[in-house]
């Protein structure tokens, strides 16, 4: 409903999407309210029954590196299978090249998803020592830094400014630079339905990410890599949630439209 995940709202806001601005503001404010405000008792009440050992290696008896090896083997198998798949893939329309040189590689060239995934993985890896060097012992994160930014703007206390806050601000600034560099930046005002969905989605995302202990980055990338049940269960739940809402927001209306179109064509005949 928000039109993207937590990270997505940050970079889409940098591209000028007003709907993402709405989702982003409500996401950050709701996260702050849930983590330290009037909704904190609600969050604690929900989390109380699930305050258990989330370490997969300790609960299963399988050494951490054993779990890493298993995940690596599964990943390699899926990558090889995907690359060797001879079935016809969905054709991605290619636009005429507009730039050359470094600008082409930075702002226009489309990279293979696996190359992008490796780059993101390396960034996630480097985040640990870089964050620790500033006194923040954590990896990539979006929800808590977003909430901290709200607290800083309200209180003016610099204790809320840390490596994570600069991370989310960097995502926003980087997105803006990329959009400007590719000449795709444009203020875009959505329709009323999109505004409504962005507002509701942003609120739900802020509350849900706080209760779950992370967003698609904190849980889906960091907690899964550290082999915790929290990360893998949250990732699976996010996939189911995205599929469900996509069905009701996009798939079902499209099917209804196609059915009505077919009926209209049948009547004309």
Per-residue pLDDT in tens (0 to 9) along the chain, 269 residues: 888 899 999 999 999 999 999 999 999 999 999 999 999 999 999 999 888 889 999 999 999 999 999 999 999 999 999 998 877 566 667 778 888 899 999 998 888 899 999 999 999 999 999 999 999 989 999 999 999 999 999 999 999 999 999 999 999 999 999 999 999 999 999 999 999 999 999 999 999 999 999 999 999 999 999 999 999 999 999 999 999 999 998 899 898 888 888 888 777 76
Give me the pLDDT at residue 91, please. Answer: 66
Give me the pLDDT at residue 50, please. Answer: 82
CB-CB contact of 6 with 205 (8 Å): yes
Other CB atoms within a 10 A radius of the CB of residue 174 amount to 13
Give me the pLDDT at residue 95, please. Answer: 76
- For residue 247, give the DSSP letter: I
Report CA dihedral (224, 227, 232, 233) to the nearest 10 degrees: -140
Residues in the chain: 269
Cα–chain-centroid distance for residue 38? 25
- For residue 160, give the DSSP letter: G
Give me the pLDDT at residue 52, please. Answer: 83
Give me the pLDDT at residue 87, please. Answer: 72
Cross-strand bridge partners of residue 55 = 228
Kindly report each contact of residues 40-45 with a partner whose C-beta sits within 8 Å and lies 24 or more positions away, as own/partner.
Answer: 43/207, 43/210, 43/211
Give me the pLDDT at residue 259, please. Answer: 86
Give me the pLDDT at residue 269, please. Answer: 64
């Amino acid at each position: 409903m928000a039109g993207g995940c937590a990270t997505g709202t940050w970079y889409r806001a940098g591209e000028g999407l007003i709907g993402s601005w709405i989702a982003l503001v409500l996401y950050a404010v709701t996260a702050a309210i849930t983590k330290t405000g009037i909704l904190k008792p609600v969050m604690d009440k929900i989390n109380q029954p699930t305050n258990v050992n989330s370490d997969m290696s300790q609960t299963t008896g399988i050494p951490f590196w054993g779990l890493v090896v298993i995940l690596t083997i599964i990943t390699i198998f899926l990558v090889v299978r995907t690359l060797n798949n001879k079935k016809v893939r969905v054709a991605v329309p290619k636009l005429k090249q507009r730039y050359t040189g470094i600008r082409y590689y930075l702002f226009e060239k489309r990279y293979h998803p696996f190359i992008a995934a490796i780059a993101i993985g390396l960034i996630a890896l480097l985040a640990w020592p870089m964050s620790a060097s500033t006194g923040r012992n954590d990896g990539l994160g979006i929800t808590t830094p977003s909430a901290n930014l709200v607290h800083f703007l309200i209180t003016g206390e610099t204790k809320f400014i840390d490596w994570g806050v600069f991370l989310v601000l960097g995502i926003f600034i980087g997105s803006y630079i990329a959009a400007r560099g590719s000449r795709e930046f444009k203020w875009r005002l959505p329709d009323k339905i999109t505004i409504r969905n962005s507002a509701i989605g942003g609120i739900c995302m802020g509350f849900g990410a706080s209760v779950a202990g992370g967003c698609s980055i904190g849980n889906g990338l960091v907690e899964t890599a550290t082999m915790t049940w929290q990360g893998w269960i949250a990732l699976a739940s996010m996939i189911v949630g995205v599929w469900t809402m996509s069905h009701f927001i996009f798939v079902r209306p499209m099917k209804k439209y196609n059915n009505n179109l077919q009926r209209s064509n049948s009547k004309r005949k």
